[in-house]
Amino acid sequence: MGETQLARAAALAELRAEFPVLAQNVNGAPLGYLDNAATTQMPLAVMEAMQRFDRHDRANIHRGVHTLSQRATDRFEEARETLKHFVGAGADHELVFTSGTTDALNMLAHGLSTAGIGDATIKPGDEIIVSELEHHANLVPWQQAARRSGAQLRILRPDAQGRLQEDELARLLGPRTRVFALTACANATGERPPYEAMLARAAAAGALTVLDAAQAVSHETLDVAALACDFMAFSGHKMYGPMGMGALVGRRAALERLEPLRYGGDMVEWVSRTDASFAALPMRLEGGTPNVSGAVGMAAAASFIEGIGRERIDAHVTALRAQAAAGLAAMRGVTLMSPEAHRSAIVSFVTDGVHPHDVGTLLDARGIAVRTGLHCAHPLLEYLGFGPTTRASFAVYNTHDEVERLLAGVTHALEVLR
């Protein structure tokens, strides 16, 4: 091993020490955690930031004149500013805290298709375009929005390799297109669509554009101000942060169109017996007591990522994915999903005659944690002609040795189960 390789190995070992959960054996083998598309692990810096808040500043925000309430409010709003900077939000953007990507997309679909503050943005006869790469969280809310409003839902389908084509989007766009919703990376296949160009094309056609950034936020540099993107949703637990925490970032003019999903405390300006006036953004969309320690932890996770550098993380997880994809593609009876995917941390595959759950169980027996199933993307896998798959997904703390263990485990599973 050369000097540079030794230095990199030492640096990775030091980084892995920041994640206590990794320092354990599972079924007698070192844990190889390759289920990061479902949830990443949290470093000590995030845990400690949340603990500091709970030990020192815990109080309800925006409502008290006492010192702890004011400190808690400061921590909450500082977290908002950190995360706005993290995704490149500009002066005309605002960030709304949610419980995650799913909550953010539900808030968005509901808010655009429900009349309340004014007329609903989506009306009978309008069209909503959603790609077939989507997680159910970026499909089902739009199905319901179409039913609620009388709009038509149109599906942007990929080619046989699971790739989206700009020409097909151009064919679907029309004068009645109100919303175009797209993922930054398909969680079921690892495909990264050309979302920059597709968002720009849809915006030029007059549609509101929505980006589900859940699978990209941990390693891609997302600059919402540079994208033709009206709304972006992402989750804390996909970026080394806490579960139950996320954000909806949007242009203020676009967010102003949303009818609130939750009514109650902290989202009103005044209330009478028969009427209410809502507060300004972002509080108008943040009804109820927020997860303040979660916001603090999510901001700490963003700082953790920036401290390493997203370009370095992106290069690392992309290299791990390429290594895994090459090894799996060389195995007889293994079919790789999106074999040409680039800038992805996800590799998904099927094994002829062997159920993914059996593969996952045998991998777990060797300490390797992967995800098996339909990955909340039933329409995509059905369209591509596949059932459940086995999915490995990579993070900054994963190693090339873990990829080799994955490949050896799949080889073993095929030998045992065929």
CA angle 91, 93, 96 (to 5 degrees): 135
Q: What are phi and psi of 75, to 5 degrees?
A: -65, -40
C-alpha of 275 from chain center: 37
The two tokens of residue 311 are 């370009």
Cα torsion through 159, 376, 19, 76, rounded to 10 = 100
Tell the residue number behind the tokens 């908002």, with chain if given. Answer: 80
The two tokens of residue 75 are 């921590």
Which of 376, 400, 404, 411 is labelled catalytic? 376
Looking at residue 223, its amino acid is: D
Give the sign of the dihedral formed by CA 156, CA 162, CA 164, CA 168: negative
Looking at residue 418, its amino acid is: R
Note if 376 is an active site residue: yes
C-alpha of 178 from chain center: 23
249 contacts 28 by C-beta, under 8 angstroms: no
Radius of gyration of the chain (CA): 22
Report d(CA 327, CA 176) in Å as an integer: 46
Show which residues are catalytic.
376
